[in-house]
Amino acid sequence: MSSNTLPAASLGPTDAAAAERAGQLREQLHHHAHRYYVLDDPELPDAAYDEMFAQLQALEAAHPDLQVSDSPTRRVGGAPLAQFASVRHAVPMLSIRTETDTEASGAHAFDARVRRELGLQPDDAAVQYVAELKFDGLAINLRYENGSLVQAATRGDGEMGEDVTQNIRTIGQIPLRLQAQQPPPVLEVRGEVYMRRDDFEALNERQRLKIAQGARGEKTFVNPRNAAAGAVRQLDPAIAAQRPLSFFAYGLGQVVLAPGEAAPSSHEGWLRLLKGWGLPVADQTRLAVGADELVDFHRQIGQQRDALPFDIDGVVYKVNSLALQQQLGFVTREPRWAVAHKYPAQEQLTEVLAIDVQVGRTGKLTPVAKLAPVFVGGVTVTHATLHNEDEARRKDVRLGDTVIVRRAGDVIPEVVAVLPERRKEGEPFVMPARCPVCGSAAVREVGEADHRCSGGLFCPAQRKQAILHYAQRRAVEIEGLGDKLVEQMVDAGLIRHLPDLYRLGLSALLGLERMAEKSAGNLLAAIEQSKTTTLARFVYGLGIRHVGEATAKELARHFGQLDDLMSASEDQLMQVSDIGPVVAASLRTFFDQAHNREVVEQLRALGVHWPEMQAASRSGLALSGKTLVITGTLPSLSRDQAKELIESAGGKVAGSVSQKTDYLVAGAEAGSKLLKAQTLGVTVLDEPQLLGLIHGTT
């Protein structure tokens, strides 16, 4: 295309002419932005592009009704936000399993798992995969409706993210409108926002210049990922626009196709379609057939890693066939059909200045080496984990040793090995017999590598975690008591142990940051309401190691009363369904600690109560031995309420329908689970039928 600038447009005497010209300018600007940002093959000089952009800005200023959400002029704009709005993902943004074996055997292990899950024999055809880069950035969900970008959200906890649409609009590689003649009604694109290394260095150079000129509040960034994540979460989009961000697409969220429109049958087909619609897909992505080609991809990318213009911390393998992906399904919250295969982390030498023992929020005792500061994997490392006593003894790490330190997985620094030839002196590490924080016994369970503090309800190091666990919805439940509030109350000395929750007064709460009289009153009311609970919820809320929600329910059914549970021997505990020697020993260790029993008694004395019952026999319960699955929205019961009713009647609630399912409880908008149940001949119940079955009226 000619490098001459385009002639200025005549707006014409009518709004219709202005609308037509604005539409032409938007089309041309979208086209040239794609050529520039995605294809890296511009057709216009910058001056010509800038003139077209200015023309569109002038048109939209003169005719505000012409402004549309996907206009190129909307890439930067809008007032700073006070905070980000929450977004519930239509399809959860799940994480994938990490293969920490950085050798070729890691790829072979993944392929072997896939073949085993699919029931393939050694002489069956190799599985086809898509091999991709594992970018070191921030996962983002882009939502397009009828081709226009309407929302961008962070991963968050996988279920809920933050609305960062204004900031994502500033990224030139992300099209505001898909290049599709008939775009899907809904298309959610999953991908990674990242910062190129050269852009990162240029940004830091600008930051250093600002600091040298005396600018306040400015700082340099540690690595490209942190800089990218910070830019995405800027409340002011004008600041985000100054941070040079990039984007790669690699997957999908919710997709709604137009009637009669066929979807690709493979992951690779979707990536090609996304690329055709104007979304950037990494050039290194390729098809790989069988484990050997995965190994080859891992090796080749590893050789190219330092030369890439952006950071990666591994590669990702995904089964290409969407039908096989569906067949493989998920384990917990990770897909069986995908894995991230890491590379060895960077390593450096440094000196061990001390070995401390840290007590984690859950009571785990971890020996930590205090190190002479060393720059590894993009950060300055001053501490490194030794994991546990066995690992510290195996590596024989001692005070004053010269060690090789590594950022394992580019995240957690660890000591890899000692250089014994440089050893000065020092004794082998020994785990203390008592918690260094509270003095409770340090316990190491049979078959476990870790030592743990046994003073769960008493230990200050576990205080915040104990309160949060006790107050969560599935335990005793204190609405409104979240992380920040607990941190404030503990740091202010208002709560030292759980019973202090029930001694809080209005004046104490009003002294906390952002705590008005109404919110303080609401919290006190929620605390008062939490005094009425169930034995199962209370036992779960105590945070006893290995005692999850289901185990707490079994204990409550079996013993009926807390005193009987607290005094039960290990043999008596092992008579409870699904409880073995490890859980029984954990329960006895917990209740044998005098301070734990004291906390329990104080809670009861302060009014925490529940209906005491006689020990129940599961064999006589209505749903004893039955497996049920819940799907859809029930008329009056929440999912948790229905589950609790089923379990109280002796039943088990599963997450997916199979031949072992006895009943499917179906509500409004029941989907694929209902179809599968009908196919397998599983009995389908509505809410009244479920209640009738539990109460013996049907």
Phi, psi of 385 (to 5 degrees): -75, 145
- Give the pLDDT score at 316: 97
Q: CA 46, 51, 53, 54 torsion: positive or negative?
A: positive
DSSP-assigned letter for residue 173 = T
- Give the pLDDT score at 11: 40
- Give the pLDDT score at 686: 94
Q: Cβ neighbours of residue 397 under 8 Å, at least 6 residues apart?
A: 352, 355, 369, 386, 403, 415, 418, 429
Q: CA 197, 198, 204, 207 torsion: positive or negative?
A: negative
- Of these ranges, 12-26, 394-408, 449-463, 509-523, the one predicted with the greatest mean pLDDT is 509-523
Torsion of CA 420, 421, 425, 430, to 10 degrees: 0
The pTM is what? 0.49
Q: Which residue in 654, 648, 650 sits closest to 620, CA to CA?
A: 650
Higher-confidence residue of 10 and 260: namely 260
CA angle, 674 then 678 then 684, to 5°: 70
Question: Is position 134 annotated as part of the catalytic site?
Answer: yes
Write down all domains in the chain, each with its CATH number in brackets: 15-75 (1.10.287.610), 130-342 (3.30.470.30), 347-422 (2.40.50.140), 434-616 (1.10.150.20), 618-695 (3.40.50.10190)
Rg (CA), the chain: 30
- Is residue 136's pLDDT more than 90? no
Q: Which residue in 363, 359, 379 sits closest to 371, CA to CA?
A: 379
Q: What is the pLDDT of residues 299-357, one digit of tens each?
A: 999 888 888 999 888 999 999 999 999 999 988 678 999 999 988 766 788 999 999 99
Span 402-407, mean pLDDT?
Answer: 84
CA distances from 333 to 256, 449, 524 (A): 23, 25, 36
Q: What residues form DSSP beta bridges with 412?
A: 408
Residue 615 half-sphere exposure toward CB, CA atoms < 13 A: 12
- Is residue 18's pLDDT more than 80? yes
Confidence of residue 523 (pLDDT cuts 50, 70, 90): very high
Distance (Å, rounded) from C-alpha 109 to C-alpha 54? 56
Task: Specify whether the CB–CB gap between 48 and 200 falls below 8 A.
Answer: no
Residue identified by tokens 């991709």 is: 132
Task: Specify whether the CB–CB gap between 278 and 34 falls below 8 A.
Answer: yes
* Residue of 134, 318, 342, 673 marked active site: 134
Confidence of residue 534 (pLDDT cuts 50, 70, 90): very high
